[in-house]
Amino acid sequence: MRAVLQRVREASVTVDNTVTGRINQGLLILFCAEQGDTDVEAKYFAQKISKMRIFTDQNGRINLSVKEVGGKILVVSQFTLAANWKKGNRPGFSAAASPQEGERLYELLCQSLEKEGLTVEKGIFGAHMDVRLLNDGPITIIMDSKDSA
């Protein structure tokens, strides 16, 4: 499982000229489920994301979580995070979970973030999406379930 977290001042996702999700201050999360990923990882990602201290406090220190600053979450599915780019010039995506399993884990991550007390906006799984964001910092965190603790 992989996720790219970007601290944003604002972000939105549009599908077929319709905005499907929009947030102001918070996190844009690009999410990819890979083969073999489980519910445990999705719930763990949600827990870590909700508590990760990557927002600035009143003293200018990066010390607050998205929840503590009243931020929101925009989650966008992105199977291309599973790209194998080392061999040849066309990336391979065989490490990505099947579309059915990927969507199930995407929805579970979103539901788990909501259970952590966060407001969650979403893109549309599997759709061609236009994603707009205004980075804040920029602060970008890459999460990979294969990384050791």
Which CATH number fits the domain that encloses residue 105? 3.50.80.10
Name the band, by pLDDT with cuts 50, 70 and 90, for residue 147. confident
Q: What is the dihedral of CA 90, 139, 77, 131, to 10 degrees?
A: -90
Alpha carbons 4 and 103: distance in angstroms, whole number: 17
What was the pLDDT predicted at 44? Answer: 96
Q: Among the options 80, 93, 100, 119, which is catalytic?
A: 80
Active site residue 78: yes
* Active site annotation includes 93: no
The pLDDT tens digits for 108-120 are 999 999 999 999 9
Active site residue 79: yes
pLDDT tens-digit map of 70-93: 999 999 999 999 999 988 899 999
Please state, as a whole number, how many other Cβ atoms lie within 10 Å of the Cβ of residue 149: 2
Give me the domain span that covers residue 97: 2-144
Q: In this model, does residue 30 exceed pLDDT 80?
A: yes
Domain count, the chain: 1
Catalytic residue among 31, 45, 55, 78: 78
Give yes or no for residue 26 having a pLDDT over 80. yes
Please indicate, yes or no, if residue 149 is contained in any of the structural domains: no
This prediction has a pTM of 0.94
Q: Which of 82, 83, 78 is nearest to 123 (CA)?
A: 78
